[in-house]
Amino acid sequence: MFELMAGGKIGHIALSDIADQMVIAPATANVIGKVANGIADDFLTTMIMATKVPVLFVPSMNTKMWESSIVQGNIEKLKENGYQFMEPTAGDLACGWQGKGRLPPIDDIVEQMEDIFTEKDYVDQRVLITAGPTVEAIDPVRCISNRSSGKMGYAIAKMAKRRGAEVVLITGITSLPPPRCDIRVIDVVTAQEMRAVVMEEQRRASVIIKAAAVADYRCKEENLQKIKKKNGKDEITLALTKNPDIIEELGRVIGDRVLVGFAAETEHVVEHARDKLQRKHLDLIVANDVSKSGIGFGADDNEVTIIDAAGGAVHVPRLSKDEIAEIILDEALKVAKKKKKTEEDWY
């Protein structure tokens, strides 16, 4: 505990001075109890006592220990003193029990660490985000869809939550895990299902970001049985009908809230995006060229141009989708603040 480091510095003090954040993972009932009651009798507890940086406890223990009134009382005491906690997850425990007490996944712990460092400039916003593709049945076996992976919308949801927003993510079918455990996720399949959920949820949203790739058409007639191959026929004709235009409908009711759309294009990207922005009454549109390799559908990176209703455009070079999401949220927040100021000036 008192080992000296370079320059004769005491180890637990020196390390607490150089840290930007301290994470205790796994945090046992023992260490939680010690710190809560001011006991510092080993290297870890002395280092925790000596630091002034944010401290995150990630508890992991037997279910009965976790539910103990003593442990819960110690946790509440630490929270009141500014310490932060993650909830353990439920599942099989090392002791043979099943229940709450497992160490959360490392990615979730890292996300919580990032959350602590992030400015909470969205704390007063309720953000509704759509992501992923919609799927329209041809018959019980086949379907019409698109190449959207949902990664861009999921990145926006994660970053919005990290910045303090209340987030609702409405998603089509993807292979992605939920972006965070504390985000409300609503799963849909078809464009009509997405429209119904969006129009219900939008009533309580202050910022709406439509990153989903919604199928423009669906089969005019529902085929309840598999369409069989016809002998001698090399072609089949499907009669399609138009799906609801969700973002156009939102544009008619958005009022003084913020509406952001996406334009995935393969040519004349900015021109097509500007036209869509005006026709749909959007505040911002995010345009990207999905014909370029390494960006767009399925990729971890993107390159976009963000266009506003006044005609201004910001080109964002190739970055990770998390970084692109941050920039989109920055631009949306500028619009929200401008609308709020205009409303205040009017009154």
DSSP 99-114: EEEEPPPHHHHHHHHH
The torsion defined by the Cα of 158, 115, 316 and 279, in degrees rounded to 10, comes to 40
pTM confidence score: 0.88
Reading the chain (347 residues) residue by residue, the pLDDT tens digits are 556 555 556 555 667 678 899 999 999 999 999 999 999 999 899 989 888 999 999 999 999 999 999 999 999 999 999 999 999 998 887 777 787 888 999 999 999 999 999 999 999 999 999 999 999 999 999 999 999 999 999 999 999 999 999 999 999 999 999 999 899 999 999 999 999 999 999 999 999 999 999 999 999 998 899 988 876 678 888 999 999 999 999 999 999 999 999 999 999 999 999 999 999 999 999 999 999 888 878 999 999 999 999 989 999 999 999 999 999 999 999 999 999 876 666 65
Domains of the chain as residue ranges with CATH: 6-117 (3.40.50.1950), 126-224+239-340 (3.40.50.10300)
In whole angstroms, give the CA distance from residue 338 to residue 345. Answer: 11
- As given in the structure block, the two tokens for residue 30 are 């023992």
Q: Which residues are catalytic?
A: 95
Q: Which of 326, 268, 266 is nearest to 295 (CA)?
A: 266
